[in-house]
Amino acid sequence: MTAHKTTQLDASRLARLPREVAMDDDAEASALKMGELSDLLGYSLKRAQLKVFEDFLRCVSSLQLTPAQFSVLLLMEKNPGRNQTEIANTLGILRPNFVAMLDGLESRELCMRVRSAHDRRSHNLMLTDKGRATLARAKKLIATKHEARLNEVLGPANRAALLEMLATIARDF
Amino acid sequence: MTAHKTTQLDASRLARLPREVAMDDDAEASALKMGELSDLLGYSLKRAQLKVFEDFLRCVSSLQLTPAQFSVLLLMEKNPGRNQTEIANTLGILRPNFVAMLDGLESRELCMRVRSAHDRRSHNLMLTDKGRATLARAKKLIATKHEARLNEVLGPANRAALLEMLATIARDF
DNA sequence: TATTGTTATACTCTATAACTATA
DNA sequence: TATAGTTATAGAGTATAACAATA
């Protein structure tokens, strides 16, 4: 039951990330004091997440894909033939909410629902050729624009460390 | 204009965070392959953010405060007398949406709107005694339960590094 | 004319109950 | 009876336009 909680060792200091350089926090009028907010992990987590999703949308805007849609296509590619419940559960999407989402992707001919022969209740999900092509283009845009930008801002080692810590929180917290 | 993007230096490896230890990713039936999703920063960011907010709500459930409400109270405490536009802008809340939120806090007598003498259009916001007391209790709960838990999972040094990277993204990205 | 707080409104996300068709 | 997909619905969160009071 959620083992290992105390497996951290050292954590030598990371890259020198710039801090309070510009001080133009809020532009014009005397910026407000953030107080303990600066130390609230959840607050920074939320603000960072919004920025990252915003940039994601910009980077793949030509393909009209949201982060959620991208994650669904990716999962279909890596796990062809899985049903709606399996894909939705893996992504933390509730089954009722997954229906409209799939309708959208299917109407754009990016994926297909195929009634299973073994269990006629379930739909085997799979990408269409167009879906595979769109996903491939999305991956390229994300790698060369989106994640590359994050590497610029953080540095590759920091980016990797950040990813690992976030995965740890998502898994063990 | 968003200076310093290439200020990263090293980033020696962090603590040994446990990985693929249990492998019980999805319980029963053969877990799905996550593919490139494991390397998508936005995905881990979102999942981690949900977990952290969930825990925040648990930790302060006795006070019935959401992360957003807590951040508003905190800002009022550190910046008494500021108006709605200033508080809302600082937190990235749109003014129209801030109205109902303030109504809720004010009806619980945690804060007050006081018409400004100098500019009768604006409301000076301030905590009530009850608001200050509630905020103090919330801070204690968050420090001893919520953030303490994060320290357990990540280790203090990792937690600090994570916080700094998230702030960097929120600021420079 | 511009700004503060506000209303109305709409759109997305998320969440729950209940239906249908299969098993 | 239990499960997969679905419908309906309700509640947050977020977004924009426009209005009244005030500057």
| Mean pLDDT for the stretch of residues B124-151 | 97
Evaluate whether residue A62 is within a structural domain: yes
Neighbours of B154 (CB within 10 A): 27
Residues of B in contact with A157 (CB under 8 A): 8, 10-13
> A124 - beta bridge partners?
A114
Evaluate whether residue B49 is within a structural domain: yes
pLDDT tens-digit map of A111-160: 999 999 999 999 999 999 999 999 999 999 999 999 999 999 999 999 99
DSSP of A29-76, one letter per residue?
A: S-PPP-GGGGG-HHHHHHHHHHHHHHHHHHHTGGGT--HHHHHHHHHH
Q: What is the pLDDT at residue B3?
A: 33
Structure confidence at residue A30 as a pLDDT band (50, 70, 90): confident
Residue type, B89: N
Structure confidence at residue B129 as a pLDDT band (50, 70, 90): very high
Distance of C1' in D8 from CA in A95, Å? 14
Q: What is the pLDDT at residue B158?
A: 96
B121 touches strand D (CB under 7 A): yes
A63 touches strand C (CB under 7 A): no
| Mean pLDDT for the stretch of residues B123-143 | 98
The enclosing domain of B103 has a CATH number of: 1.10.10.10
For chain A, the domain total comes to 1
- For chain A residues 35-94, those near strand D by a CB cutoff of 7 A are 83-85
pLDDT tens-digit map of B57-106: 999 999 999 999 999 999 999 999 999 999 999 999 999 999 999 999 99
Q: CA torsion B137→B139→B143→B147, rounded to 10°?
A: 130
pLDDT tens-digit map of A67-100: 999 999 999 999 999 999 999 999 999 999 999 9
Q: Collapsing DSSP states into helix, strand and coil, what is residue B122?
A: coil
Evaluate whether residue A29 is within a structural domain: no
Instruction: Report the percent of chain A where pLDDT is more than 90.
Output: 82
Evaluate whether residue A168 is within a structural domain: yes
pLDDT tens-digit map of B20-67: 443 433 344 689 999 999 999 999 999 999 999 999 999 999 999 999
Q: Is the predicted pLDDT of residue A19 greater than 80, yes or no?
A: no
The CA-atom distances, in angstroms, between B21 and each of A7, A98, B24, B30, B51 are 12, 30, 9, 16, 20
Task: Please give the nucleotide, over all strands, whose C1' is closest to the CA of residue B118.
Answer: D23
Distance of C1' in D4 from CA in A113, Å? 13
Q: Is the predicted pLDDT of residue B8 greater than 50, yes or no?
A: no
Evaluate whether residue A136 is within a structural domain: yes
Q: Is the predicted pLDDT of residue A10 greater than 60, yes or no?
A: no
Evaluate whether residue A15 is within a structural domain: no
Q: What is the pLDDT at residue A136?
A: 98
Evaluate whether residue B84 is within a structural domain: yes
Q: What is the domain range of residue B168?
A: 40-172
Distance CA A36, CA B75 (A): 9
Evaluate whether residue B19 is within a structural domain: no
B111 Cα to chain A: minimum distance (Å): 18
Instruction: Report the percent of chain A where pLDDT is more than 70.
Output: 83
Q: Is the whole-model pTM more than 0.85?
A: yes
Distance of C1' in D16 from CA in A1, Å? 47
A121 touches strand D (CB under 7 A): yes
Q: What is the pLDDT at residue B114?
A: 98
